[in-house]
Amino acid sequence: MIVDTSRPYDFIVTGASGKIGRHLVPLLARNGRTLLAVGRNSDTLRRLFANQTGSVAVADYGDLKRLPGCDTLIHLAVRNNDAPGTLADFSAVNVDFASQIAREFSRMNGRRFLNISSILALDDFEESPYAVSKAIGKRAIHDIIGDRLDNVHIGYFHDRGYFGERLAFLSRFGPAVGGMIFALLRMLKPATSAQSLVDYALGEPHSLPPPGILTDDLSRSRAYRAISRSMDLGVGLGILLLFLPVFAVIWIAIRLDSPGPAIFAQQRVGAAQIPFTLYKFRTMKRDTVAAGTHEVSSSAVTRIGAFLRRTKLDELPQAINLLRGNMTLVGPRPCLYSQTELMQAREALGVYALKPGITGYAQIREIDMSRPIALARSDYRYKKLRSLLLDLRIIVATALGRGGGDRITASDQV
């Protein structure tokens, strides 16, 4: 179908001949919306979408200047991270060309500019030309169209019967067997289905909390839950068996250092906000006020407690929580019910769908409970990005000393 330059379109999809566009356009067309697929070569697009259910008009980028308007523009045209090139090469597409498309969108008085990026652009330590250029491009687009920009970061893209270019060989096994294998492989890295991206495009803009992450819900994976639980049980039993002499030494040291029990038991907020009892070695003086660590004076910490906190040995008794199943190895750090600001922020972001963890994504990023909003946002980011590889990365980083625990206030004593 040739582009009709006399009417506005519900959806304009740039980069429509790419791996995402080839699957997204047909799904959008089935919803009865007027749709324009745009790319460098309209003949290629016409061949791709000739037999699609619903009408799909095609155009090259030069035709955008003649369009009177659109509701939503889905920007898929990109120089991807797997392409070679310098930062200048990536910026030419991901900044300059994206800005050109944004100016055409602004001229058409569009309602929503849906800018699709990889979750690689969210990595704090990612300095690839792709990640840098996408970050610059996002700011450039926002300068042109403001809050009409709706950024969405996606994981490994897949569709029904399509397992991505890197795993294309799975198609040889058929949808059923290939799908089962893919379900196991996508536990390793975050993935995003074509249907979920279409559903988001058809929904309200900005319905994802910043920074806008759209990934498959890994909690629905029985295999991931089984592996995580097996790791919890294995580590929990291993700590109790291998560190039993250490437990005894720490127990005696705490009792000799200050009055009070060696084990500190406290009610914390668990998954679904259900209370549970957290176990730690006591690091503070008896009768210290029950509050967040950052709200307690450093003078409340005992001499042996300071050492235990610095080495994280105070958390060894949480092996009991692992065995009981009310904590997991990696997850949001459990808070107190008195920490209402953090609780409210976590509830708003759906963080309480996760079990609390002994270590977490926020912890290795040096974000603690003294910054409740930043902590809740980091917990949410982990919820959307979690995978077996990310969990392993967090565990290794913690073992190597990243994340020093919650800060305490300066001593109130001279």
Which tokens in the block code for residue 234?
């294995």
What are the CA-CA distances from residue 116 to residues 119, 140, 200 (Å)?
10, 15, 12
Task: Tell me the pLDDT band of 406, cut-offs 50, 70 and 90.
Answer: low
Pairing of strands 357-359, 328-330: parallel
What's the rounded Cα separation, in Å, for the pair 115 and 154?
11
Residue 117 predicted with pLDDT over 90: yes
pLDDT exceeds cutoff 60 at 358: yes
Query: Could you report the per-residue pLDDT of 181-230, keeping only the tens digit for each?
Result: 999 999 999 999 999 999 999 999 999 999 999 999 998 899 999 999 99
User: Helix, strand, or coil here: 200?
Assistant: helix
State the pairing for strand pair 263-269/275-281. Answer: antiparallel
The answer, yes or no, to whether residue 410 has pLDDT greater than 50, is no
Whether 67 shows a pLDDT value over 80: the answer reads yes
Give the C-alpha separation, 25 to 114, whole Å. 14
Q: What is the residue type of 73? A: L
Task: Give the number of other Cβ atoms within 10 Å of residue 230's Cβ.
Answer: 10
**pLDDT of 97 higher than 50:** yes
Q: How many helices (H) and strands (E) does the chain have?
A: 15, 13
Q: What is the pLDDT of residues 237-268, one digit of tens each?
A: 999 999 999 999 999 999 999 899 999 999 99
Rounded distance between C-alpha atoms, residue 72 and residue 201, angstroms: 8
- The alpha carbon torsion through 69, 70, 71, 76 (nearest 10 deg) reads -140
pTM of the model: 0.88
Structure tokens at 39: 């790319």
* Run of H or E residues at 254: helix 244-257
If you compute the radius of gyration of the chain from its CA atoms, what whole number of angstroms results? Answer: 26
Distance, in Å, from the CA atom of 296 to the CA atom of 311, rounded to the nearest integer, reads 19
Mean pLDDT, rounded, for 325-347: 96
pLDDT at res. 51: 75
Cβ(381)–Cβ(361) below 8 Å = yes
For residue 138, which phi and psi values (nearest 5 degrees)? -60, -45
Q: Is residue 49 pLDDT above 60, yes or no?
A: yes
Residue 75 CA to chain centroid, in angstroms? 21
The one-character DSSP state at 92 is: I
> What is the mean predicted confidence (pLDDT) over 343-372?
95
For range 168-174, the mean pLDDT: 90
Q: What is the pLDDT of residues 282-319, one digit of tens each?
A: 998 876 655 555 555 567 789 999 999 888 899 999 99
Q: To the nearest whole number, what is the mean pLDDT of the chain?
A: 90
Amino acid symbol at 335: C
Looking at residues 323-339, what average pLDDT do you find?
Answer: 96
| pLDDT over threshold 90, residue 411 | no
Lowest mean pLDDT among 62-71, 153-162, 283-292: 283-292
Closest CA to 296 of 412, 411, 409: 409
Q: Is 281 helix (H, G, I), strand (E, B) or coil?
A: strand
